[in-house]
Chain A
Amino acid sequence: MTEAAETTAAEVVDLASTPLRELNQRLHDLANGADGPRRWRILNPNGAHAVACGIDAEVEVEIEGHVGYYCAGMNKLATVRVHGNAGPGLAENITSGTVVVDGNASQSAGATGRGGLLVVHGDAAARCGISMKGVDIVVRGSVGHLSGFMAQTGRLVVCGDAGESLGDSIYEARVYVRGEASELGADCVEKELRDEHRAELAELLLQAGIDDLDPSDFRRYGSARRLYNFHVDNAGAY
């Protein structure tokens, strides 16, 4: 990006007067290298749903206020920042790019995400990272119950506490928790935190802009792999 482009003012869209459809269409039209503003500022989301969803371009979007469901859903390449709270399904199915929320995220944050990075500076609620398929999620606060449920691959970092049934039915995703993990889900066990994990954590925390936490203070959780193939003796876990 040229210097001239970097100092260009952001394109401002006020959702109090602009239909959401128009905003999303303009953001979608930036795909495949099309011309258009690279920086956007969205005002007055007022809890609207599907704000900035389906972007497929290297753009920066700042959203001033609280958003409803599915903000930045299926995000590709874009950097989306929410200066407020987010409703359920934040960045669901994200494939690349970065989504950052200053406040709290409601349930199913990063659900089924395939890549990219999701950062929540507040708390995330239940089912954070449910069915994740490669996304990295870093939560500064705590996460609710059933977080990492059926998490297939990717990394979930929780700087606060994790609610009940963490990593229930987890596959190969790696989960790091600094606070309390009050109750682990089926087939989720604590694992040894080795140097390579500390390095991985350090990298993730750095990407999330968190520089005041020591990776050694985290514990690692992952799959015991006992449920990978059905055995009748494990029937109680199902």
Chain B
Amino acid sequence: MCGIVGLFAKSTEVEERLGEHLAAMLAQMSDRGPDSAGVAVYRDPAPSGASKLTLFSSDPLQDWDALAADLRNAFGGAPEAGVRASHAVFVVDAEASEAEAWIRTAHPELRVMSAGQTIEIYKETGRPEEFIRQFSLGDFHGTHALGHTRMATESRVTTAGSHPFSTGLDVCLVHNGSLSNHNRLREELRRQGIEFQTENDTEVAAGYLAWRLREGASLEQALEGCLDDLDGFYTFLVGTADGFAVLRDPIACKPAVLAETDEWVAMASEWRAIAVLPGAAAARAWEPAPGVVYAWERQKV
């Protein structure tokens, strides 16, 4: 089981200190999730025609500069590695799906953590405090971010098994709870062409969302589909290029708190993760109702 946090900036001040706030929120969720931690940060959009990939290497001596050169040869431009611990972010002069496909073929030893225009996903085993330090989470700026601390229930504690799970371009999912029909659903989704890398139930939910979105559903429809097609207990926080959405299953045993001020919207498993934010004491706080999709989106200029 787990702790979830999410922060959506409504002011430039909060955007600039997004990582700092997220780190404080995440640290509060360490007890709920001591096994691993992960974040998805949305920031620095890649220019049109280009895309952003976050890659993970299990090799501590990974030569990211060599990979940058490879990418330059393949796609042109001047991609540079933005390295944090075991991960590196690249802006590639190609559409995301093309870039991702190239990585899978040319560098199967690397894992693509996320792909899209703005998303960057970092996740690693170990205690959340370690994660925050290793990835210099306090440095980040961004428009919105999701975070997760994991207490593994029925699958191993691995990097790949950590959340967030990316389910499509700029889309990701974090989950608190435990599904009960994910094994059969995984097989059905595999038949639909969705690939899985772990035994993790959350990965199945992420795959389900990816499939629905691929088949033309809106995010809201895809989430509402969860209510029919997923069995079990869940609080979901989904990130998209424009914002995030929260959904609790109809039985709603797993916790969720929402809060909003003029500066931010925040979501967390427990209030104490929101209490660390500036202005929290005066925030409007409420609990999302079961089976209802709550979504926030940036206005598109």
Contacts and interface: CB of A to CB of B under 8 A. Distances in A.
Asked whether the complex places CB atoms of A and B closer than 8 A, the reply is yes
B272 A48 contact: yes
Q: What's the dominant secondary structure at chain A's contact region?
A: loop
B115 interface: no
Nearest to A126: B252
Contacts of B286: 104
Interface in A141-168: 144-145
Given A66-B285, A125-B287, A107 B252 contact: yes
Contacts of B289: 144
B290 interface: yes
Given A125-B287, A144-B289, A145-B290, A66 B271 contact: yes
A106 B259 CA distance: 14
B255 A106 contact: yes
Contacts of A88: 255
Contacts of B276: 46
Given A46-B272, A68-B271, A104 B290 contact: no
A126 B290 contact: yes
Interface residues of A, number: 19
A46 B275 contact: yes
B270 interface: yes
B275 A66 contact: yes
Contacts of A37: none
A126 B288 CA distance: 11
B271 A87 contact: yes
Nearest to B28: A47
A110 to B, nearest CB: 16
B82 to A, nearest CB: 34
Chain B interface bracket (under 10, 10 to 19, 20 to 34, 35 or more): 10 to 19
A46 B287 CA distance: 17
Contacts of A87: 255, 257, 270-271
Contacts of B274: 47
A179 interface: no
Contacts of A96: none
A223 interface: no
Contacts of B253: 107
Contacts of B257: 87, 106
Contacts of A104: 285-287
B290 A85 contact: no
B247 to A, nearest CB: 15
Contacts of A106: 255, 257, 287
A118 B285 CA distance: 21
Contact of B270 (A47, A107, A145): A47
B281 interface: yes
Contacts of A66: 271, 275, 281, 285
A103 B285 contact: yes
Interface in A74-104: 85, 87-88, 103-104
A85 B274 CA distance: 13
A108 to B, nearest CB: 9
B287 to A, nearest CB: 5
- Name, among B271, B281, B290, the residue most crowded by chain A CB atoms within 10 Å (CB to CB): B271
A69 B276 CA distance: 17
Given A68-B272, A145-B290, A85 B281 contact: no
Interface of B: 28, 252-253, 255, 257, 270-276, 281, 285-287, 289-290
Closest 7 A/B residue pairs (Cβ): A47-B272, A47-B271, A46-B275, A47-B275, A125-B287, A66-B271, A126-B252
9 contacts: A46-B272, A46-B275, A46-B276, A66-B285, A68-B270, A104-B286, A106-B287, A107-B287, A126-B252
